[in-house]
Amino acid sequence: MSSSVEKSNSTSIEKIVEQALQDGYLTPAMEAEVGRICDSAFELSVEEYMALDRLMGALLTGEVVAVPRKQFINVMEELVLSEAVARVAEIEEHSGKILDLGDIAAYALNRLPPLYATTEQGAVYQRERALADLQHLIVQQVKEAIERNLDRPEFFPDRSSFGQTGKDTVLTQISALLQTIASNFENDPSQQN
């Protein structure tokens, strides 16, 4: 099984490198996928190392250009977060309840228009436009998001936010799953020799 996993990782890294060489760009998503594969692999194969070496050489010579993570911002994110932080702080102070700021912001952002800008001047324009034309809608959506967050039952108390899942967590989950399967197997008389 591990050889097929290594082979699929090798193919994935090789495909990403080939795509980057073909396009001339290494996108943040491609970079993240290579990082994920490297982090999850027990050991990289020779082919994987060769593909990574080829990518590094292409980056150094300029044959492939790494696209910066963000060349633009969504001003609406800043405005929604500011509103959500202020409202959540009030509620937590008075009620003692802990709210999920990320869920609240995501809910509101999904119901508001994005306001992208590529320059500081563009961001100032978008901010002024939003405060003049959309402030009421921002407040309304954040309020609705908070109400939904307060009424939401704890379906998945063990869910984890982006960036909070580590190798130890995954290994612990796999270990627990294997222990459950093994104990079910040991207790099943039809599985006995």
| pTM, entire model | 0.53
Task: Note the pLDDT tens digit of each residue in 156-171.
Answer: 555 555 555 444 555 5
Range of the domain at 140: 73-151
Task: Note the pLDDT tens digit of each residue in 44-93.
Answer: 888 888 999 999 999 899 899 888 777 888 999 999 999 999 999 888 88
Q: CA-CA distance, 152 to 146, in Å (whole number)?
A: 10
- Name the H helices within 41-166: 46-61, 75-95, 101-109, 120-133, 135-151
Question: Do 85 and 144 have their domain in common?
Answer: yes
Residue 159 lies in a domain: no
Work out how many domains the chain is built from and give that number: 2
> Phi, psi (5° rounding) for residue 162?
-55, 140
Question: Do 59 and 125 have their domain in common?
Answer: no
Question: What mean pLDDT comes out for the span 127-150?
Answer: 95
Question: Do 83 and 140 have their domain in common?
Answer: yes
Residue 27 lies in a domain: yes
